[in-house]
Structure 1
Amino acid sequence: MATSVPAQNNKFPPQIPFIIGNEACERFSFYGMRNILTMFLIQYLLLEAVPEKGLREAEAKSLMHTFMAGVYFFPLIGGYLADRFFGKYRIILGLSLVYCLGHLCLALFEDSRNGFFAGLALIAIGSGGIKPCVSAMVGDQFNESNSHLVKKVFAIFYWTINFGSFFASLSIPLLLKHYGPSVAFGIPGVLMFIATLIFWAGRHRYVKVPPTGANPHSFLKVVGSALRNRGQGKSWLDGAKREHPEEAVDGVRAVFRISGLLLPFVPFFWMLFDQKASTWVVQASAMDPHVFGFEFLPSQMQSINPALVMVLIPLLTAVVYPAFQRGGWELTPLRRMPLGLAIGAMSFIIAGIFQVQMEGGATLSIGWQFLPYVVLTLAEILVSTTGLEFAYTQAPREMKGTIQSVWLLTTTLANVAVAIASKLNVFSGSGQFFFYAGFALVAAVGMALVARRYVVRDYYQTSAPVPTEERTAAGVTAKTA
């Protein structure tokens, strides 16, 4: 009996605007508070406790990156709790309230280090915990009839993130300057409360995928089984086949393959990228803020990044990548990521040259920062947007969540490293720019060498990899980088 094919539906599910509206307000709230955090710590909270400016800047950067490490660590916990026990809707709603409480602490305890840091901790838990759930919940709202719209809705979703970031970066620093910390942190809190209300308003419309419960063939259980049954095959993982199906063991093997490519190298990019909210802001504060008659605050310069993302992604996708392909040298993901690392290093070299000139007595306009921002944003697209999609396609369905955790872990490790280096004040001035650029260049070379030996396996609907000659029939492609 022939199965019926559902009619194609070209309309977005009616609940999608609730999730997109929630994301727009939440991203405004997060980037609004984060982008003024470094300057607030330097100019307000740490002013009396750390009188020496250089040490105060180092302490502010360390605190900033400690906070960011938390933001990218808690998605591991939030995603796990949503998938296994509570479901995405409950986690998003519950942690959104924690998120709002964190914003309230920032607004109320601007003069109290303990109260303010408690607020940062709550925001890290709330923002990080909902991060993997919101994007996944978007995908849950689609079925076979409208699955062709998923790519379009995620493009809107990503554009919304940068839209919120852009306007938050422009407006919230002005509120800090003219109205003080309570208002500057309070407005993002109001936006987060509105985001929570928007999400709650769609509660009766959402498709709510139930939690799966404990997975008997999870990554950790397979690894544990392999360690208990060592020496049972050619690979140390083969011992796990005594207790787990072959697909689960192959999935764990895929996780280790991808981790070997990502974990040693990608953190060096995030060490660069996340310092636009710390080191680059400190540099901007020492520059002439006037550009063509307009005055720009140091924290406002971060708005360049989301504005450029909205322009450069379509340009690269529609023009640059096809041009390289027509020229006979395709910019594959394994070529884009090392190239992005090298380009990211160049952005820090450019900023370091500016710092050398300023240390020599030159007065530079803050407008000069536009150049390293362009270079860093180009690197972001080559590494971040490419790497996230690449990591997702390289694992079987059962291990895609684990791979996303590995990807987030690269950002956590990077921010922990920068927080420690800033706390120790290992490098200051122009030296810190060249220090991080040098590490990124070494990482770019290392990743390019490893990528040459990496065999790409794109997993689609089938869960187990098959040999190259069978890929068409099974829906799996295997190719060399």
Structure 2
Amino acid sequence: MPSGRRAREKTFFGHPRGLATLFGTEMWERFSWYGLRAILATFMAASPATGGLGLTEQTAQAIIGIYGALIYLVALPGGWIADRILGARRAVLWGGFVIMCGHISMAIPAETGAFVALGLLLIIAGTGLLKPNISTMVGKLYPQDDDARRDAGFSIFYLGINIGAFIAPIVVGWLAQDDRWHLGFGAAAVGMALGLVQYVLGRRHLMGVGERPGHRLTPRERRHFTLTLVVAAVVAGGALAVWVASGTFALDTFALVMTLLIVAVPVLYFGYILLGSHNLTDDERSRMKAYVWLFAAAAIFWMVYDLAPTVLLFFAQHNTDLSLFGLRITPATTQAFNPLFIMIFVPVFAALWVRLGNRVTAPHKFSVGLFVNGLSFMVMALAATLAQSGKISVWWLVLVYLVQVFGELALSPVGLSVTTKLAPEAFKSQMLGLWFLSFSVGDAVGGQTGRLKNHMSEPAYFLTLASISVVASLVLLAFSGRLHAMMREHRAPSATPPT
């Protein structure tokens, strides 16, 4: 684009106007996602007499773990569908519409969980279309060589995510109190609707980004894809129907089976990369072996960290005095602590990593993230011990979320960076999807940790998970030198392919 024309166009804080469109869409989508997440567990565990589903807290934790895992898992096919069939722009539009339909289904009061199951499935499918592709569109708003403005643009976009995540638990939690669950779910639907309206009205500012698929399927490939999709849906649906008809179906067992399947995905994928040829160089193969350990560390991190909308939410509901600065808050409002602290401390950690430079490597940062995450659950173990004598101050949870955010900012942004850095040339476009699989594995396994409560007290439960995270941190620290060597960062720049 000619520089004169670019200068005459209106901007969004000095960035393309299309960023405002995507910023608003993502903010409202995150409002709907975090609003639902803030009340979903307590709704599932609430008595049917109060409009809930009447599940045990353990079952609710397992189901929400699978729900969170699938949200990240479907980002892989969602990106593929945009690239080969819809294009990113239509994928985001249809994804947002399907998400809105999912929240509407959740908002329908019904005595069975059918509308809830349908709503969650629609939200999973819609998020798979919207989430990966809206980020892709942000990157494409900028010229290829404009890295500095692109990085700044993503920082603004990230702010939109956290604004939505901060506001949603407060608003939805307030609307859903006194068992008005479906009013809260309806607010999430309204949020996604606002995001869609804003996206449609602002589409002219996107400058053609994402209009067409990057590698459109040929007619033959389209027929093959359609046939494969139909067969897979029939097989999966048939197997589930047979299981239900047998009378042996149970939600806890279903969640366990899904967890095993989700864990198998990255195992098979890493095997495919490392055991196949793919023309990988020795350096690329060595980097991938190092990445396997970082992936496992990240999965353990998310296993603990993503228990916020279940275990920590239940703790807030049952064991804390929900008074903050003299004001009564809802259990859901405690879910707003995390995004608030993220917005405050992101600039601090960004400056810290720049200042430390290469003296602290990715394995070191992962180790710090795991250790701090474990520390947060040591605090929870102490809080749970005190809560055995009566309700404790909600400030204990504030402290836990503050400590956890330090762990997230040590690991999560670094994970994105190291993923792109270690990716083999043949798999560069797929590796970010692989990184998000660590979230899937962590969420699914974390959902299963509720089974431990059948055999131990709540303080022991928190201490067990804290110990797993801390031990993983120490193991990673002990082998950080070896991992650093496997990442081939000790060689001269000329010996390393450009990234």
Fold match (TM-score > 0.5) = yes
Q: Which of 343, 353, 362 lines up with 1:310 in the alignment?
A: 343
The structural deviation recorded for 1:255 is 7.1
* 1:38 corresponds to: 41
- Distance in 2 between residues matched to 1:363 and 1:421, nearest whole Å: 24
* 1:278 corresponds to: 310
Range 411-420 or range 38-47, more displaced:
38-47
Aligned letter for 2:443? N
Q: Which runs of 5+ in 1 are unaligned?
A: 228-234, 241-245, 460-464, 477-481
Aligned letter for 2:346? I
* 2:411 corresponds to: 383
* 1:351 corresponds to: 380
Q: Which runs of 5+ in 2 are unaligned?
A: 8-13, 219-264
The structural deviation recorded for 1:302 is 1.4
The structural deviation recorded for 1:421 is 3.0
* 2:392 corresponds to: 364
* 1:126 corresponds to: 126
Q: Does 1:393 align with 2:395?
A: no
* 1:462 corresponds to: none
The structural deviation recorded for 1:399 is 2.1
Range 442-451 or range 123-132, more displaced:
442-451
CA contact (8 A) 1:289 1:298 kept: yes
* 1:417 corresponds to: 445
The structural deviation recorded for 1:42 is 2.0
Give the secondary-structure state (helix, strand or coil) at the position aligned to 2:173.
helix
Aligned letter for 2:173? P
- Distance in 2 between residues matched to 1:147 and 1:331, nearest whole Å: 24
- Distance in 2 between residues matched to 1:396 and 1:85, nearest whole Å: 26
Give the secondary-structure state (helix, strand or coil) at the position aligned to 2:364.
helix
- Distance in 1 between residues matched to 2:134 and 2:192, nearest whole Å: 14
Aligned letter for 1:71? I
- Distance in 1 between residues matched to 2:56 and 2:50, nearest whole Å: 7
> What do residues 206-248 of structure 1 show as CA deviations (whole Å, max 9, x unaligned)?
3226322579xxxx9xx99x98xxxxxxx9545x5xxxxx4x6
CA contact (8 A) 1:46 1:56 kept: no
* 1:253 corresponds to: 285
Q: Which of 201, 206, 214 lines up with 1:211 in the alignment?
A: 214
* 1:151 corresponds to: 151
- Distance in 2 between residues matched to 1:383 and 1:130, nearest whole Å: 24
- Report the number of matched residues: 439
Taking structure 1 as reference, are residues 114 and 82 closer, same or farther at Cα in structure 2, changes over 3 Å only? same
- Distance in 2 between residues matched to 1:74 and 1:236, nearest whole Å: 25
Aligned letter for 1:206? G
Q: Does 1:432 align with 2:481?
A: no
CA contact (8 A) 1:321 1:330 kept: no
Return the TM-score normalized by structure 1: 0.82
> What do residues 380-423 of structure 1 show as CA deviations (whole Å, max 9, x unaligned)?
11111211122122225652332112211111111211223325
- Distance in 2 between residues matched to 1:331 and 1:140, nearest whole Å: 31
RMSD: 3.4
Range 374-383 or range 4-13, more displaced:
4-13
Aligned letter for 1:443? A
Greater per-residue helix proportion: 2
Give the secondary-structure state (helix, strand or coil) at the position aligned to 2:359.
coil
Taking structure 1 as reference, are residues 144 and 357 closer, same or farther at Cα in structure 2, changes over 3 Å only? closer
CA contact (8 A) 2:76 2:433 kept: yes
The structural deviation recorded for 1:146 is 4.6
Q: Does 1:470 align with 2:494?
A: yes
CA contact (8 A) 1:262 1:407 kept: no
| Sequence identity percentage | 24
Aligned letter for 2:391? T
* 1:78 corresponds to: 78
CA contact (8 A) 1:9 1:146 kept: no
CA contact (8 A) 1:391 1:404 kept: yes
Give the secondary-structure state (helix, strand or coil) at the position aligned to 2:437.
helix
| Structure 2 counterparts to residues 128-207 of structure 1, below 5 A | 128-144=128-144, 146-177=146-177, 180-204=180-204, 205-207=207-209
- Distance in 1 between residues matched to 2:215 and 2:420, nearest whole Å: 20
Return the TM-score normalized by structure 2: 0.79
> What do residues 334-377 of structure 1 show as CA deviations (whole Å, max 9, x unaligned)?
21111110000000010111101112x14311122111111001
CA contact (8 A) 1:12 1:146 kept: no
The structural deviation recorded for 1:67 is 1.1
Taking structure 1 as reference, are residues 331 and 386 closer, same or farther at Cα in structure 2, changes over 3 Å only? same
- Distance in 2 between residues matched to 1:331 and 1:466, nearest whole Å: 13
The structural deviation recorded for 1:121 is 1.4
Q: Which of 268, 289, 300 lines up with 2:300 in the alignment?
A: 268
